[in-house]
Amino acid sequence: MKTIITYLVFISAISTAFAEDIIEPSRADFEVLESKIDSSEVSVQMVFENYINAIGGREKLEQVGSMVKEESMNIVSVFSGTETIMNSVVLTARDKSGKLASIVKADGVTTKTVYNGNSGYTELSTGFKMDFDENMLALYDKPVVFFPELNAPENAEIYVKTINGKEVFAVSYKADDITEVTSYFYKDSWLKVSETMINGDTESTMKYQDWAEYNGIKIPVKTMIVTNFETGKMMTEMSTKIEFNAPINSYIFSPMEEIAKNMAAIPSGVMSASMASETLLSNTSLALSSDNVSVESMEEVSFDMLNKREQHYKSILQALENEGGEVANTTSLATITVESDGEKYDIDKVSRDELSEMKYRRSSLYTLMLDDQTREHYHIIKDAFGNTELSEKFNNHNIGPYLIPGTGGEKDQTEHIENYLNANGVAKSLISRWFNRDENGAFNMSLVAERGQYDASDLNVKVAMESKRGRALLQDAGEELIGNTFVIVYDYKYTDKEEQAKKTGGFLNAISTVASFVPGGENIATIASLGEAASDVLGKGYFVRTTTYLYQLFWDEETANKFYTDFWIDESNLDDNKEAKFESTDFFKLKYVGSEVSRNNLQSTIFTSKTDEELIEIATIRAVDKNIGKLQRTFEDFRVKTPLLSGDPIKAKIGLKEGLEKGDKFEVLEQVLDDGKTSYKRIGTIKVDRRHIWDNTFMAEEADGALQNEDYTLFKGSSNKYASGMLIRQIN
């Protein structure tokens, strides 16, 4: 444990130095430096002063009193021929006096380091905490220099070098008795190309690939670091986001979990193992990037590294940072109205995108997964889940975070999940999403109106609370929409079939050996050998055990009345007391509906071209769909309604992905509106045609070896009775 603490503190100390005077491609990779420049031509002082002016000017840099810095890092190390990949995110808040708060999110552990000017500590997410001793206090108890270049080094030497057709100045000096630093500056723009630090047998190089401007100060926002040790090599790809003169006390005193939740997700898959090895083992070259890289282009690169759920969450956080910004509505505006008016018309040519926009009232869904970083293939599972598209049968009600910190093990996770949902106020956040709560605490009905196909003006709360029709509309919206808001949490467990096959093969081999000494045992030996061969052919792939936990937002008449009476405010009627009351309430709840377990055999053979990573990704995505289907079959409240594409033949765009099986029965419904209140009238029942079930599972066409001609399922039932747009719902 002490080793882990020391390592994490070491990372924290490096990340909080804020020195701009370290590293870049190795000295060994350069051509021989050209001769020294006469100091009368270009002085070290001149180079450093021009650099200061290029990044913002002396006056602006000297006014920086604090800095909050977030760095996302992909680290690849090779020692003794063994390659290790580690991803981390480090957030550091520090002021000139030396006060510090640092959060490190690495694979499997989060740590917080604090120094308040008098004392300090390091705390792990496991609950372990260690106070600073005298040595640690001495390490942190010193003023911070954010821009060392404000004071040019003494006894430095300066050279001119041409790299990739551009001239750079190389300034070399001793940082201390054993450390030699060389900084490289563009001759035309004066920005830094890179830096090299040599300390004994360790040589580090830092290449600045992109620059951006924050508060009028330019900083490098994408950096590649290569460190050569006597026994190995380490490469770090780093993206940086920074804020100057920001208050840091909130970081010092806020809980570690709260800060970590708002940090960027740990990057994964940015640098493949093969690419990292190739890069590490080849000569590192100094590739000069454009001097005019915008903040937008850099943020776009970093953004593209994230999976879709991480991108969505980052967009929400960015919107909240913008003054007056509102979180973008992720549910597309419906453009196709499907009404069951009894006419026989066919809409089976509608595209999947258009189908997802049809106006019928869907349940709303928020999905998460247990973030158990101890599980095998964690990063592949996380990104596959994060990139999985939500079924068009649901309204997308994802409110941001999608990972619940895992507890390890395979036991029932219900209590752990419920503790997370309650502690993080997820029910209240779902309601805030429904009513578009803004930064002033004001609500509006635009999303409810959109999803329920209501007239937004009819849903104005003032009118609704004063009229019979208004109350009916609110009750209808609550029952039809808000009360049908669900949360699903996935827990994945993977077993490598090849490992199981090896065990089976060993057992069969033993049988074969024993049988050879038994009279008449030739048949036994042959069977054992055939079994071993079969285990080789069928033994690749994964067994996937996926547990899904289903929760429903609790919304009844009492809850609705309390919300509209005690918490509702809008733009025209702001109320600080109601805003504060909603912020502090824990009144809103999620109720546990139940769970389902699926076991998938992701079959592959020795002839497969799929990598393990691809097989795991396929299995993860298929498990999402399969378990939703199982939950719908088991829990009636979670069953979704789907529009018919046509009434003759009777067909709908659902299939194996939704868990259809031969013999499944559905009721056909017509929607009836009575003074604003919705009800559904059953007009008949239909049954799945077992010969025409659509296989719409993920990558089904590849598994079957050919594309399917039909992208719908046929049903058996009375002809000339049903129409396009009528809704069907499973009843068995």
Tens of pLDDT, residues 457-477:
777 766 576 777 777 888 888
Residues 345 and 286 in one domain: no
CB contact set of 522 (below 8 Å; sequence gap of 6+): 515, 516
Domain boundary among 525, 542, 559: 542
Dihedral over Cα of 32, 38, 44, 46: its sign: negative
Q: How far apart are CA 669 and CA 723, in angstroms?
A: 10
Residues 236 and 344 in one domain: no
Tokens of 730: 């499973």
The backbone torsions φ and ψ at residue 281, rounded to the nearest 5 degrees and listed phi first, read -85, -10
**pLDDT band for position 266 (cuts 50, 70, 90):** low
Q: How far apart are CA 263 and CA 91, in angstroms?
A: 8
More confident residue, 609 or 505: 609
373 in a structural domain: no
Tokens of 169: 């100045």
Domain boundary among 542, 561, 581: 542
416 in a structural domain: no
Q: How far apart are CA 87 and CA 290, in angstroms?
A: 27
Q: How far apart are CA 222 and CA 287, in angstroms?
A: 13
102 in a structural domain: yes
Residues 535 and 650 in one domain: no
Q: How far apart are CA 571 and CA 260, in angstroms?
A: 32
CB of 490 closer than 8 Å to CB of 627: yes
Nearest CA to 109 out of 372, 301, 290 is that of 372
Between 86-90, 676-680, 726-730, the lowest mean confidence (pLDDT) is in 676-680
Residue located via tokens 């899904």: 548
What total number of domains does the chain contain?
3
CB contact set of 52 (below 8 Å; sequence gap of 6+): 58, 61, 147, 149, 150
Which residue type is seen at 463? Answer: V
> Residue 673 pLDDT > 60, yes or no?
yes
pTM of the model: 0.55
More confident residue, 678 or 367: 367
Q: Which domain holds residue 522?
A: 494-542
Q: For the CA atoms of the chain, what is the radius of gyration?
A: 31
> Residue 618 pLDDT > 60, yes or no?
yes
Q: What is the pLDDT of residue 551?
A: 97
Kindly report the length of the chain. 732
Nearest CA to 381 out of 391, 371, 390 is that of 371
Encode pLDDT of 375-403 as tens digits.
777 778 888 898 888 888 899 999 888 88
Is the bond into 649 cis (omega within 30 degrees of 0)? yes
Between 45-54, 259-268, 594-603, the lowest mean confidence (pLDDT) is in 259-268
CB of 567 closer than 8 Å to CB of 624: no
Q: What is the pLDDT of residue 558?
A: 92
- Residue 661 sits in a domain of what CATH number? 2.40.10
More confident residue, 303 or 455: 455
Q: What is the pLDDT of residue 608?
A: 53
**pLDDT band for position 607 (cuts 50, 70, 90):** very low
Give the percent of the chain with pLDDT over 90: 14
Tokens of 215: 């508060």
Q: What is the pLDDT of residue 471?
A: 79
Residue 460 DSSP symbol:
-
**pLDDT band for position 251 (cuts 50, 70, 90):** confident
Tokens of 205: 């190089």
Give the percent of the chain with pLDDT over 70: 71
3 state SS of 494: strand
Tokens of 643: 């529009």
Q: Are strands 590-604 and 485-496 parallel, antiparallel or unpaired?
A: unpaired
Q: How far apart are CA 271 and CA 254, in angstroms?
A: 33
Domain boundary among 524, 542, 560: 542
Nearest CA to 192 out of 51, 356, 326, 314 is that of 51
Tokens of 674: 């009575």
> Residue 478 pLDDT > 70, yes or no?
yes
Residues 125 and 208 in one domain: yes
Encode pLDDT of 369-381 as tens digits.
998 766 777 778 8
Encode pLDDT of 164-213 as tens digits.
677 888 899 888 778 889 999 988 888 888 889 898 888 888 898 888 88
3 state SS of 269: coil
Mean pLDDT of the chain: 74
Residues 254 and 345 in one domain: no
- Residue 108 sits in a domain of what CATH number? 2.50.20
> Residue 552 pLDDT > 70, yes or no?
yes
More confident residue, 11 or 62: 62
**pLDDT band for position 580 (cuts 50, 70, 90):** very high
**pLDDT band for position 529 (cuts 50, 70, 90):** very low
**pLDDT band for position 516 (cuts 50, 70, 90):** very low
More confident residue, 459 or 443: 443
Residue located via tokens 């949360």: 487
3 state SS of 517: coil
CA distances from 184 to 197, 208, 490, 564 (A): 12, 10, 50, 63
**pLDDT band for position 708 (cuts 50, 70, 90):** low
CB of 335 closer than 8 Å to CB of 369: no
Residues 277 and 344 in one domain: no
Q: Which long-range contacts (CB under 8 A, 24 or more apart) does 251-258 make?
A: 251/68, 251/91, 251/93, 251/101, 251/103, 252/93, 252/99, 252/100, 252/101, 252/114, 252/116, 256/103, 256/110, 256/111, 256/112, 256/123, 256/125, 257/110, 257/125, 257/405
Residue located via tokens 């100091």: 39
Between 521-530, 613-622, 714-723, the lowest mean confidence (pLDDT) is in 521-530
Residues 85 and 139 in one domain: yes
Residues 102 and 157 in one domain: yes
105 in a structural domain: yes
Q: How far apart are CA 99 and CA 153, in angstroms?
A: 26
Cβ-count burial of 491 within 10 angstroms (0-12 exposed, 13-18 middle, 19+ buried)? Answer: buried
Residues 282 and 183 in one domain: yes
Residue located via tokens 């990704």: 617
> Residue 720 pLDDT > 70, yes or no?
yes
Encode pLDDT of 280-322 as tens digits.
333 333 333 333 434 344 345 456 667 888 887 777 777 766 6
232 in a structural domain: yes
Residues 18 and 98 in one domain: yes
Q: How far apart are the first and last CA of the chain?
A: 54
Encode pLDDT of 110-122 as tens digits.
889 999 888 999 8
CB of 189 closer than 8 Å to CB of 53: no
> Residue 525 pLDDT > 60, yes or no?
no
Q: What is the pLDDT of residue 550?
A: 96
Q: How far apart are CA 170 and CA 680, in angstroms?
A: 78
Residue 332 DSSP symbol:
P
680 in a structural domain: yes
Q: What is the pLDDT of residue 554?
A: 95
How many Å is the maximal CA-CA distance in the chain? 100
Q: What is the pLDDT of residue 352?
A: 42
> Residue 344 pLDDT > 60, yes or no?
no
Range 260-281 average pLDDT: 48
384 in a structural domain: no
Residues 75 and 135 in one domain: yes
Reduced 3-state DSSP string for 123-161: EECCCCEEECCHHHHHHHCCCCCCCHHHCCCCCCEEEEE
Q: Are strands 403-405 and 363-371 parallel, antiparallel or unpaired?
A: parallel
> Residue 691 pLDDT > 70, yes or no?
yes
Q: How far apart are CA 638 and CA 642, in angstroms?
A: 13
Tokens of 681: 């009238």
Q: How far apart are CA 575 and CA 426, in angstroms?
A: 23
Encode pLDDT of 66-99 as tens digits.
999 888 888 888 877 777 777 888 889 998 888 8
Nearest CA to 450 out of 326, 328, 571, 334 is that of 334
404 in a structural domain: no
Residues 104 and 245 in one domain: yes
